Amino acid sequence: MRDILKAPWMVEMIRTATNMYGHGWDERNGGNISLLLRKEDVDQYVNVWDVIRTIPTGFSAPDLEGKYFLVTGTGKYFKNVQYAPEVNLGLVRLTEGGRTAELLWGFADGGKFTSEFPAHMMSHVARLKVNPENRVVMHCHPANLLAMTYVHDLDSRSFTRTLWQMCTECIVVFPEGVNVLPWMLCGTNEIGEATAEQMETARLVVWSQHGIYGAGADLDETFGLIETAEKAAEIYMKIAHLPRKNTITDAQMHLLEDHFGVKAREGWLD
Q: How far apart are CA 66 and CA 261, in angstroms?
A: 37
Active-site residue (options: 116, 176, 230, 234): 116
**Catalytic residue status for 27:** no
User: Which amino acids are annotated catalytic?
Assistant: 116
